């Protein structure tokens, strides 16, 4: 089972609303929601902890009908029995999709993905962050093949949307080729644009044949003119998507 997030375009930019106050969150949405190429918003724990997830989602919905993704930084690496409780809360809050990092093993993948699908929320599955020290090979604690393993199982469960760090285009291309073997036009969500070294042009080119969404936080909300920067990124995303179509 898959869930349609109903983005207004097959590629674009998703601003991450990792700002500290309700006023900043709403101001950012108000400035950007009508820009071509802006296709949705990502809520994180900053807004959810200050407002409650329902309140944070409502603050966005008061200004736009664009889809809302919730990223619990990161949901999924928990005991499988927590999946139903977590997904139920997210459903009641009114978000449309969930970023899941089910690092706790196969049963966690099945439970978090399955509960999301049954509740009508889109599971957007990942397992990697955009910096080298995350992995064992870089001195971290997470297996280097984490994405291959999580993605392989997720595909068999009907997942169509995935998170891949954008700052390593070679890895993006490798994961995309594997995903396309099992998913028709997978959705690829690409964090790590800008301050973490990724570029829309390189990441979108590496993910040709997919629906592509650049997830950008600080690159927009810390810029001198967030609206102008969002317009630039939206135009770049649409231009790159047209150059390398899905």
User: What tens digit of pLDDT does each residue of 138-183 get?
Assistant: 999 999 999 999 999 999 999 999 999 999 999 999 999 999 999 9
Alpha helix positions (H), the chain = 22-32, 45-51, 53-61, 82-93, 106-118, 146-156, 169-180, 200-206, 218-221, 226-243
Can you give the pLDDT at residue 140? 95
Give the domains, in start order, of the chain with CATH numbers. 11-243 (3.20.20.70)
Tell me the pLDDT tens digit for each residue of 66-87. Answer: 999 999 987 888 888 999 999 9
Quote the CA–CA distance of 147 and 174 in Å, as a whole number. Answer: 11
Quote the CA–CA distance of 145 and 235 in Å, as a whole number. Answer: 34
Quote the CA–CA distance of 33 and 20 in Å, as a whole number. Answer: 19
Quote the CA–CA distance of 194 and 85 in Å, as a whole number. Answer: 35
């Amino acid at each position: 089972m898959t869930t349609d997030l109903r983005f207004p375009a097959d590629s674009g930019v998703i601003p991450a609303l990792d700002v500290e106050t309700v006023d900043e969150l709403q101001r950012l949405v108000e400035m950007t929601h009508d820009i071509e190429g802006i296709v949705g918003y990502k809520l994180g724990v900053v807004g959810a902890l200050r407002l409650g997830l329902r309140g944070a989602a409502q603050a966005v919905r008061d200004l736009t009908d664009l889809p809302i993704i919730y990223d619990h930084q990161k949901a999924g690496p928990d005991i499988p029995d927590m999946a139903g409780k977590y997904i139920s809360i997210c459903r009641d809050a009114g978000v449309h999709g969930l970023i899941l990092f089910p690092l706790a093993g196969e049963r966690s993948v099945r439970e978090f993905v399955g509960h999301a699908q049954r509740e009508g929320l889109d599971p957007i599955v990942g397992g990697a962050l955009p910096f080298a020290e995350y992995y064992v090979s870089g001195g971290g604690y997470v297996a280097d093949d984490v994405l291959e393993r999580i993605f392989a199982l997720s595909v068999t469960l009907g997942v169509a949307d995935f998170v891949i760090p954008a700052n390593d285009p070679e890895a993006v291309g490798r994961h995309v080729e594997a995903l396309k073997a099992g998913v028709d036009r997978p959705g690829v969500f690409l964090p790590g644009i800008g301050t973490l070294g990724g570029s829309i042009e390189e990441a979108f080119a590496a993910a040709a044949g997919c629906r592509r969404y650049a997830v950008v936080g600080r690159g927009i909300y810390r810029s001198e003119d967030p609206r102008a920067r969002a317009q630039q990124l939206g135009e770049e995303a649409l231009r790159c998507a047209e150059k390398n179509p899905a």
